[in-house]
Amino acid sequence: MRARYESFFRRSLDEREAFWREQAELIHWEKPFDQVCDDSKLPFANWFVGGTTNLCYNSVDRHLAERADQPAIIWVSTEQEREEKITYRQLHEQVNALAAVLQEQGVVKGDRVLIYMPMIPEALVAMLACVRLGIIHSVVFGGFASHALASRIDDAKPKMVITADAGLRGGKAVNYKPLLKKGMNEAMADAPMVLTVNRGVATEAVEIPGELDYATEMAKHAGAVVDPVWVESSHPSYILYTSGTTGKPKGVQRDTGGHAVAMRASLKHIYGVEPGETMFSGSDIGWVVGHSYIVYAPLLTGATTIVYEGLPIRPDPGIWWRIVQDHKVNCLFTSPTAIRLLKKSGEEWIHKYDLSSMRSLFLAGEPLDKETHRWVMDALKCPVVDNYWQTETGWPILTNFMGLGLMELKHGSPSLPAYGYDVILVDEQTAQPVGPNQKGSLMIRPPLPPGCMTTVYGDDERFVSTYFSRFKEPLYATFDYAMYDEDGYYFIMGRDDDVINVAGHRMGTREVEEALCLHPAVAEAAAVGIKDEIKGQEIEAFVVLMANVEPPTTDELRQSVARELGPIAKPKYLHIVTSLPKTRSGKVIRRAIQSLAEGGDPGDLPTIEDATVLDQIRGAVKDRS
């Protein structure tokens, strides 16, 4: 299998035009493109120049002839104890009706629509109706704070907001309309129109002037037929703001043609999911995984996508495995954090269900530690593929390949570069490439392959200065620190600014966390560097233990790090806590932990899952010994 990968990968770089011309055959082009890639103005790249296509047509209409009665979406809500199947025919009808609503309200090609919704089918309908008309959607995670909404409204200047009265999380309503109204009032941009899905679950009634009711408007346009608007390949399909930004939000802008080709090809070659099969991505449409592998890649393929509203441990830690069993899921995709959460509950929940349909589990979103990788592979008895990518790239940079033929899996490694990515590790001091088993900053030589961001929305200069200005040679910076072994397998060490310098010894926070997770009692860990007058920095670590284990002493855990990395890496302070502060997408918010560890204020965290966790971190720091 390695030989097949090498041939496929090398061809994507050495015979770029022929390679991507073949991949482009996986989607429908209304007008064929004249040029595969215009890279005359690097780092900008324009893929499939002159071609016209439509994302919605490729995701819905194209499948009607063969699979009109196949479920396109299976919605599972453990919050409402409901399930609903929507066939491709029904999805086509709903998308056309909503497109007619948008047309009636004067929303046209090039306009922006902000989508602020929970994980309900109407959210996917909204995305598809937008791209059907060449409208640029900007999905904001449901429940984001009002000031975060305001900044995105000011940047995107949407003509309409499509929202819901409330989302549900852990059995509690998250009222969206009060947040939206406050955000609109804070924003400097003109107030957009508002279209609301009224689910009847809100606990606070708020009226927004001129608000339209989704069900009423859809009923008016039932049976409508709206022709897709054919757009240039380079036409923006969506804007997605990166989480954790400060100041002016940074909108990742994606094109249409390159995005469609990348999504369809990646589901085929990387995830190995074919038309008619079922994919379950345990994420949210507010994040890039949701855009790519809940919505676009499965639907472009003609697969069935599971849309899940709920938590991975509610009503019990077996819920995801039950969904896999009941709906014959072939590929499950989630984050290492979600698996660590399930790991705490024990593997007996996995063994309760028939998972014979499941060929693979893919994990992404943060580095996967070796112990969690080993645990879940042993428990599932199926391949568990770590893959590494970013909001900016939209699909994996480093991965293994179910579609091409799975190669060796190494615990804790996202394997090898994906086709189209000319990856290089660079020493940040010398700007020179590094060799095997040496740490370096992970960079990509342009042009970035199809499907990657084309620019920062409305700010080409920021695109260049943020991502391509670190070295003299214009390399794309991932801002991650990595190394590769003699076999070319990569290991992500964490953010390249997450480096702790203890008495001149530089180490990544990821190395310390990995060493802690090797202890059998540890479920997950976070390490940060704190200021020290003598050594420059010291290490402070926070550890979450597995359920039903004999708690180790903090000194035992500190010594286990020393055994793995040497005495210099032994944390000065180590605390056992019940949970770590995370974003709603499952990423540990290390900057908040570090700020608290150094006696500062973590600041405003609109993406945090549970702000009360910060109190536990504060208490641990206060009680240092």
For residues 442-464, give the mean pLDDT.
97
For the structural domain made of 2-421, what CATH number should be given? Answer: 3.40.50.12780
Q: What is the mean pLDDT of residues 394-423?
A: 96
**Positive or negative CA dihedral for 297, 300, 306, 309?**
positive
Give me the percent of the chain exceeding a pLDDT of 90: 72
Lowest mean pLDDT among 1-5, 16-20, 335-339, 599-603: 599-603
The per-residue pLDDT of the chain, averaged, comes to 92
Q: Sorting pLDDT into bands at 50, 70 and 90, what band is 604?
A: low
The model carries a pTM of: 0.85
Pairing of strands 360-363, 331-334: parallel
Give the pLDDT score at 568.
Answer: 81
Number of C-beta neighbours around residue 98 at 10 A: 26
The predicted pLDDT at position 503 comes to 63
* Nearest of 101, 94, 13 to residue 59 by alpha carbon: 94
Of 329-333, 430-434, 605-609, the one with minimum mean pLDDT is: 605-609
Q: Report pLDDT for 561.
A: 87
In angstroms, rounded to a whole number, what is the distance separating the alpha carbons of residues 533 and 535? 6
Per-residue pLDDT tens digits for 217-233: 999 999 999 999 999 99
CA–CA distances in Å: residue 92 to residues 61, 68, 125, 127 = 7, 9, 9, 13
Q: Are 85 and 307 within 8 A, CB to CB?
A: no
**pLDDT confidence of residue 109:** 98
Stretch 514-535: mean pLDDT:
86
The answer for 604, left when phi > 0, alpha when psi is -120 to 50, beta otherwise, is beta
For the purposes of burial, counting CB atoms within 10 Å of the CB of 356, is it exposed (0-12), middle (13-18) or buried (19 or more)? exposed
Q: How far is CA 505 from the centre of its chain?
A: 33
Q: Residue 497: which pLDDT band, with cuts at 50, 70 and 90? A: low
- Considering only residues 188 and 598, tell me which one the structure prediction assigns the higher pLDDT: 188
The DSSP line for 95-119 is HHHHHHHHHHTT--TT-EEEEE--S
Count CA atoms closer than 13 A to 163's CA, side-chain side: 32
Residue 90 tokens, joined: 């029904």
The distance from CA 607 to its chain's CA centroid, rounded to whole angstroms, is: 14
- For 32, other C-beta atoms within 10 Å of its C-beta total 11
Quickly state the pLDDT bin for 506 (edges 50, 70, 90). low
* Confidence (pLDDT) at 245: 38
Handedness of CA 219, 222, 225, 227 (dihedral sign): positive
∠ CA(67), CA(68), CA(71), 5° rounding? 80
Taking domain 498-622, whether its CATH number is 3.40.50.12780 is answered by no
Rounded distance between C-alpha atoms, residue 177 and residue 284, angstroms = 19
CA distance 153 to 182: 12
Looking at residue 368, what DSSP letter applies?
P
For 358, the token pair is 């499941």
Structural domain spans, the chain: 2-421, 498-622
Highest mean pLDDT of the ranges 72-81, 241-250, 430-439, 588-597 = 72-81
Other Cβ atoms closer than 10 A to 438? 11
The count of other CB atoms within 10 Å of the CB of residue 511 is 21
Residue 247, pLDDT above cutoff 60: no
Give 1-55 pLDDT, tens digit per residue. 899 999 999 999 999 999 999 999 999 999 999 999 999 999 999 999 999 999 9
| Nearest residue to 425 via CA among 492, 364, 365 | 492
Q: Which range in 292-296, 309-313, 592-596 is most confidently predicted, on average pLDDT?
A: 292-296
Measure the CA–CA gap between 361 and 606, rounded to whole angstroms.
Answer: 29
Res. 475: pLDDT tops 60? yes
- Please report which residue ranges of 144-186 form alpha helices under DSSP H: 146-156, 176-186
Residue type, 293: Y
* pLDDT for res 244: 44
Burial 136-174 (b: 16+ CB within 10 A, else e): bbbbbbbbbbbebbbbbbebbbbbbbbbbbbbbbeeebb
Render pLDDT for 347-359 as a digit per residue (tens, 0 to 9): 899 999 999 999 9
CA dihedral angle for residue 614, residue 618, residue 619, residue 623, rounded to 10 degrees: 150
Q: CA end-to-end span of the chain, whole Å?
A: 53
Enumerate residues 6+ apart whose C-beta is below 8 A from 600: none
**266: helix, strand or coil:** helix
Same fold, 2-421 and 498-622: no
Cβ neighbours of residue 363 under 8 Å, at least 6 residues apart? 333, 334, 335, 336, 339, 373, 384, 385, 386, 387
Return the closest-CA partner of residue 573 out of 531, 520, 522: 531
